[in-house]
Amino acid sequence: MTGMDARLQAIRNATRVASEDLRARALSIDADPDAMEAHLDSPVFALMREVGTPDAYRESHSASGELLKHGASCLENAVGTVELARGDAAVALACPSPALAGVIVDLLGTEKQQELFYTRLHGGRTWTFFAMTEPRHGSDATAMETRLERDGAGDWLLSGRKLYIGNGARGGIGVVFGRTGPSPLSIRAALIELPAAGWQGKRVDTIGLRGAYLSELSFDKVPVRSDMLLGQHLPATRRGMWGAIKTFNAMRVQVAGAAVGTALAMTEYVAEHHKNATGADLVLARAQAARELVFEAAARTDRDPERSYLSCVAKLGAARVAVQTARWASSALGPAGLLEHPLLEKWIRDSCGFEFMEGTGNIQRLHVSRGYQAGDASV
């Protein structure tokens, strides 16, 4: 991708302005991710919630919200994500919004389920969660242990554990994946509204991306009504895992965009405070090249959302660039630099977190290898 049309430029400019608000909140949320009340009426949070919500369920219709419409292309979302992450990726993740759960509800939910989900978010005090990853098997769905079992009365009981779930312990509504049987087609997504009997959640104390409120969840026969299973109206092959794969392919690009945005923020911050930092031009060029790769991967995902080769390449490269930039930034301002520049110190901690979002580097390498062998590299 060598240029941006007028619409992409407008999206970039609008989100660049919004990123200033995120940056102003970064250190406060990092210090205490439980103390969110002072941030929840942020106009940028309201905009992010509006953008993630279909028109029929929006609380408001702003000019910026019309520009950044729900259902935007992966490329449009990637452009916005890079700019928001230049403000602060962790604050963006702390926003009560549809987020990943909204993507799967859009793909698999009925109109009634979508209405329940989106109207629950009105007021900006309800977080959502997307619970796939497990303690023993990560996001390997073939080894998933969380179960959905019949309760004998036509409904279901959810049992199991999930780990590293964004906003899980403070969520009010979201999606949990479990299996109803042994086959891959038995993996289903359930819409869960809290509070619920048998549900427990606690925040995992992390070093970076603290605003994401990564959580451990456990379920002990949590009741799930039959009408809360997503995809009942779809063919068996288009229910749980089909929706998850499409969601991961798109969100992998957004994680890459967040990593690139953070790398750009660190590079620009060092340049502002050290005009002659060694290697600054090379570091900036590397981050800009990673951004172009992210945009190309996003455009390819728009063309074929079920193919993941280039999104894996982009995520693998972007996560590495973020860490490399962080190492350079930590040395560029001298031994006391991180004490004197707490925002930069925070971004350096955050940069390591992107490695573990939407699949680690080793998982991405496996996907890249398989995609290359399948001929996806030339498509």
Q: Where are the domains of the chain?
A: 6-120, 127-236, 240-378
Query: What global pTM score does this model have?
Result: 0.93
- Name the class of domain 6-120: mainly alpha
Span of 53-57, 200-204, 363-367 with lowest mean pLDDT: 363-367
The pLDDT confidence band at residue 228, using thresholds 50, 70 and 90, is very high
Nearest to 160 by CA among 134, 124, 186: 134
Bridge partner residues of 173 (DSSP): 128, 193
Which pLDDT score is estimated for 379?
A: 58
Residues 127-236: name the CATH superfamily. Answer: Butyryl-CoA Dehydrogenase, subunit A, domain 2 (2.40.110.10)
Distance CA 312, CA 164 (A): 20
Give me the chain's average pLDDT, please: 93
Contact assessment for residue 18 and residue 84, using Cβ atoms and an 8 Å cutoff: yes
Which pLDDT score is estimated for 325?
A: 98
Contacts of 39 (CB under 8 A, 6+ apart): 25, 28, 29, 45, 91, 94
Question: What average pLDDT does this structure show over 72-92?
Answer: 95
Distance CA 217, CA 64 (A): 35
**3 pLDDT more than 80:** no
**275 pLDDT more than 70:** yes
Which amino acid is present at 342?
P
Question: What average pLDDT does this structure show over 44-68?
Answer: 86
Which pLDDT score is estimated for 306?
A: 79
Distance CA 134, CA 141 (A): 9
Contact assessment for residue 83 and residue 22, using Cβ atoms and an 8 Å cutoff: no
Span of 35-39, 41-45, 198-202, 357-361 with lowest mean pLDDT: 357-361
Distance CA 247, CA 335 (A): 42
When computed from its CA atoms, the radius of gyration of the chain, rounded to whole angstroms, is 20
**333 pLDDT more than 60:** yes
Match 């199991």 to its residue by tokens: 160
Question: What average pLDDT does this structure show over 201-217?
Answer: 97
For residues 276-288, one letter each, b for 16 or more C-beta atoms within 10 angstroms of the residue's C-beta and e for the rest, the string is ebeebeebbebbe
Backbone angles phi, psi at 291, to 5 degrees: -65, -40
Other C-beta atoms closer than 10 Å to the C-beta of 77 total 23
Nearest to 265 by CA among 75, 94, 89, 92: 89
Angle at 58 between CA 260 and CA 14, to 5 degrees: 35
Contacts of 307 (CB under 8 A, 6+ apart): 249, 300, 301, 371, 376, 379
Q: How far is CA 327 from CA 86, 89, 206, 238, 349, in A?
A: 17, 18, 19, 43, 10
Span of 72-76, 207-211, 339-343 with lowest mean pLDDT: 72-76
The pLDDT confidence band at residue 252, using thresholds 50, 70 and 90, is very high
Maximum distance among all alpha carbons in the chain?
71
Which pLDDT score is estimated for 60?
A: 82
Question: What average pLDDT does this structure show over 191-219?
Answer: 97
Cis peptide before 235 (omega within 30 of 0): no
Which pLDDT score is estimated for 240?
A: 79
Q: If 0-12 CB within 10 Å is exposed, 13-18 middle and 19+ buried, where does residue 110 land? A: middle
Nearest to 36 by CA among 105, 95, 101: 95
The pLDDT confidence band at residue 93, using thresholds 50, 70 and 90, is very high
Distance CA 96, CA 170 (A): 10
Distance CA 137, CA 315 (A): 21
Question: What average pLDDT does this structure show over 110-124?
Answer: 97
Output the six-digit token pair for 27: 């250190």
One CATH from 1.20.140.10, 3.40.630.10, 3.40.50.2300, 3.40.640.10 for 240-378: 1.20.140.10
Match 């606690």 to its residue by tokens: 202
Which amino acid is present at 256?
A
Span of 109-113, 119-123, 295-299, 363-367 with lowest mean pLDDT: 363-367
The dihedral sign for the CA sequence 65, 69, 70, 75: negative
Question: What average pLDDT does this structure show over 177-201?
Answer: 95
**1 pLDDT more than 70:** no
Other C-beta atoms closer than 10 Å to the C-beta of 202 total 11
